[in-house]
Copies of this chain bind each other. A is one copy, B any other.
C-alpha cells in the first residue's frame, strides 16, 4: 500500500471513477487473508520475491496442513521450518512435490526453481554438531535465491583448519558463522574479513553453556567489528538476514 496507490485511489475518487464507499474499502482492504487461526500474508511473497514460510514448532498438524493448502492455491514456493518427520508426512498428504531436509528440519515445496545469485553466502561452523543450525541457514538462503557455500568444522581450537580455507572467506559476500560452546569462531572470522558476518550461536555444549547463552554473549561481545547476531539456534533467521543483504548486493550489481 504505497503512496502511489493512495494517490491513484484519490484521483479515481476525484474523477468519479469510484465512489467514496469503494475508496474507503480499498484503503482498508489490506492484502492478507484470514483463516481464523492464522492471517496469511500472500503479498509478502510477492513483495519480497521470497517463498512463503511456515514456522511449524508449536502449531497443530491440522493447522499446518490448512496453511499449506491455502498457500498452494497461490502457487508460491513453501519453506516449512522446525518441521519434524511427522510434520513432513502431514504436508506430503496435502501436496505432491515435497522434499524433506532431515538435518535442517526443513520441508520444501518447490513450485518454481529459485534463481541463483552470483554473489555467494558462505556458511561456516565451529564443529560437526553445529550442522543442524548451519543447514537450516544454508537451505533457507538457497530457497531465497542465493548461491551458498559450506565450510564446516573449522573451530578455533585448530585455527589452521580455518586459515587454510581463507580463500573461501575471501570469495563470499556475506558469511554466516554457526558456533556453539564459546562461539569464538565469529570473532576470528570477523577479524579476517571486511564483510558482513552473521553470527548464530548454537546450543551445542553443556554445563555453563546454559543452552547457548555462552556463545550468544561471546558473539555480542565480539572484539571484531562487523558482526551481527541472531537468536540461539536461529538458522532460519541467519539465512534470511544474509539473504536480505546478499540480494541487495546482487540487485546493485545488475
Contact = CB atoms under 8 A, between A and B. Distances in A.
Interface stretch (A93-101, A108-116, A155-163): A155-163
Interface of A: 1, 3, 6-7, 10-11, 13-14, 16, 19-20, 23-24, 27-28, 30, 32, 36-39, 41, 44, 47-48, 50, 53, 55, 57-59, 63, 119, 126-129, 131, 152-161, 163-164, 167, 173-174, 181-184, 187-188, 190-192, 194-196, 198, 201, 203-234, 236-237, 240-241, 244-245, 248-250, 252-253
19 contacts: A10-B13, A38-B128, A39-B153, A41-B158, A53-B225, A55-B129, A126-B223, A156-B224, A157-B187, A158-B191, A159-B159, A183-B218, A208-B217, A210-B217, A213-B217, A217-B218, A220-B231, A228-B230, A252-B253
Given A20-B10, A27-B6, A229 B226 contact: no
A206 B232 contact: yes
A187 B218 CA distance: 12
Contact of A241 (B160, B226, B233): B226
A153 to B, nearest CB: 5
A184 B55 CA distance: 19
A242 B182 CA distance: 21
A14 B11 contact: no
A155 B218 CA distance: 14
